[in-house]
Amino acid sequence: MKGFAMLGLNKVGWVEKECPVAGPLDAIVRPLAISPCTSDIHTVWEGAIGDRHNLILGHEGVGEVVEVGSLVKDFKPGDKVIIPAITPDWQAVASQRGFSQHSNGMLNGWKFSNSKDGLMAEFFHVNEADGNMALLPKEISPEEGTMLSDMVPTGFHGANNAEIEYGDTVAVIGIGPVGLMAVAGSNLRGAARILAVGSRPKCIEVAKFYGATDIVNYKDGDIVEQIKDLVGGEGVDKVIIAGGNVDTFEQAIKIIRPGGIISNINYLGTGDYIKIPRVGWGLGMGHIRVIGGLMPGGRKNMEYLARLIKYGKLDVKPLLTHRFKGFEHTEEALLLMKDKPRDLIKPVVTV
C-alpha cells in the first residue's frame, strides 16, 4: 500500500509498505477523511520526538472498517468510525489510574505517527478496536468527524484541566484550531469572559464565533500588560496555553490570580526548561497550579464529544478552511499546515 511518511528529519515523501495485519482485538481501517496536525510538523521539522524513518504520518481521521480481529465485539467491516489520535492500551495500570494517555510509558497512548504508522495511508491499524474507535453518527460528515480525532478533544481537555467554572475569566494563549477548541470548551463549561490571544484575522473571527469576548494581539506588545489592563485586579482565573513556547509559562504566571490554574496543551517542540517566575508564583506559595496534558483518546470520549456536534452544541465547520478531494493531496495539505498561510485554520482531505 501507499502512505505519506516522515522519511527522516526535515524530509517527507510517499512510501510503499506492506498492509497492516489485525491482531485479535484490533481493526484495519481505510481512511475516508484525514487532517494533518501541527504535531506532525513538530515531529518532522523540529525533531521533537527524535528521528523516525519511513514512519507514515497522520493521526486525525475518519475511516471505514475493512477487517476486525476475532475478539472485536462492537464493530464490523463497512462501519464508519472516528479514530482518536490517542489509542491507549486499556489494560495498563496507568489506564486504571485515569491516565490512559501514558499507558505503558509516558505519552505511550500516542501511537499513530509516533511509535507506529499513522492514518495517511491506504490502510491503517487500530489497536484495541472496541476501546479505541467510535461509530461516526450519520448526522456528522467524515470531514467534520476528523475534528473529533484531536482538535476537539485536545481543546476540551485544556478546558477540563483548567477546571473552568461558571463565571470564570479565562485567557487562551494561541488560537490555532486547538486554542479555538479550548475557547469553545471554556464557553460550554460556563466561562463568562474569554480573552483570546492571537493575531490572524481569520482565527480572531472564529474565536469570537466560539465565545471569545476579548481579543489580545500578541504582536501589538506585551500580552501581560494588555491583559492586566483589560481585567485589572488580581488577574485571570485560568490560563489555557495552546500556542507559544517555553517562555509562555512566564507570561501565564504573571497574568493569573492566586489559586488559579494554568493548563497547557501545547506540544513544546523546542527548548529545555520552563521558567516559573518566583515572585509571580507567590514566592512558591501562591497556590497556582500548572498542568500539561496529552488529550485523552478512547471510544467514550469520542462518542460523548460527537454528541455535541450531533445535537448542535458545537459546530466544527468554521475550523475547516481548506478542503481537498483525493488522497494524492495529502502532501499539499500537510505542507499547508507547515507554512500556515494567514487564512488557514485546518486543511482536510477527503479520500
Q: Is 350 in the site for ligand NAD (CB under 6 A)?
A: no
In angstroms, the CA 10 to CA 243 distance is 21
- Smallest gap, in angstroms, from Cβ of residue 43 to ligand NAD? 9
Minimum Å gap between C-beta 85 and Zn ion is 5
Q: 16 forms bridges with which residues in the sheet?
A: 2
Q: Which of 150, 237 has the CB closer to Zn ion? A: 150
Q: CB within 8 A of 122, min separation 6: which ones?
A: 1, 2, 3, 19, 30, 31, 327
Stretch that binds ligand NAD, among 76-84, 161-169, 193-201, 253-261 (CB under 6 A): 193-201
Does residue 81 interact with ligand NAD by CB under 6 A?
no
Name the site residues for Zn ion (rule: CB under 5 A): 37, 39, 150
Examine residue 150 and tell whether it contacts ligand NAD (CB under 6 A). yes
Q: Is 84 in the site for ligand NAD (CB under 6 A)?
A: no
**40 touches, from ligand NAD, Zn ion, none (C-beta below 5 to 8 Å by class):** none
Residues 73 and 87: their CA atoms lie apart, in Å, by: 17
CA distances (Å), origin 296, targets 22, 38, 300: 23, 18, 10
Residue closer to Zn ion, measured from CB, 235 or 298: 298
- The sign of the torsion formed by the CA atoms of 174, 175, 178, 181 equals positive
Residue 60 CB, nearest approach to ligand NAD (Å): 9
31 binds, among ligand NAD, Zn ion, none (CB under 5 to 8 A by kind): none
Q: Work out whether 244 is an interface residue with ligand NAD (CB under 6 A).
A: yes
**The three cell numbers locating residue 77:** 467491516
The answer to the question of residue 265 lying near ligand NAD (CB under 6 A) is yes
Give the separation between CA 282 and CA 268, rounded to whole angstroms. 25
User: Exactly one of 32, 34, 39, 83 binds ligand NAD (CB under 6 A); which one?
Assistant: 39
Residue in the shown chain whose Cβ atom is closest to Zn ion? 37
- Interaction partner, residue 227 (ligand NAD, Zn ion, none; CB < 5-8 Å by kind): none
Which residue from 72, 102, 98 is spatially nearest to 86, judged by alpha carbons?
Answer: 102
CA distances (Å), 195 to each of 10, 70, 156, 238, in order? 35, 50, 16, 10
Please say which residue, 25 or 81, places its beta carbon nearer to Zn ion.
81
Chain-centre distance for alpha carbon 7: 23
User: Measured between alpha carbons, how far is 244 from 123 in angstroms, rounded to an integer?
Assistant: 34
Site for ligand NAD in 214-243 (CB under 6 A): 218, 242-243
Query: For the chain, how far is it from start to end, CA to CA, in angstroms?
Result: 14
Closest contact distance (angstroms) between CB of 240 and ligand NAD is 11
The candidate with the shortest Cα–Cα distance to 349, out of 203, 150, 135, 145, is 145
What nine digits make up the cell of 157?
Answer: 481537555
Q: Which entry of Zn ion, ligand NAD, none binds 3, CB below 5 to 8 A by partner kind?
A: none
Which residues form the interface with ligand NAD (CB under 6 A)? 37-39, 42, 150, 154, 173-174, 176-179, 197-198, 200, 203, 218, 242-244, 248, 265-267, 294-295
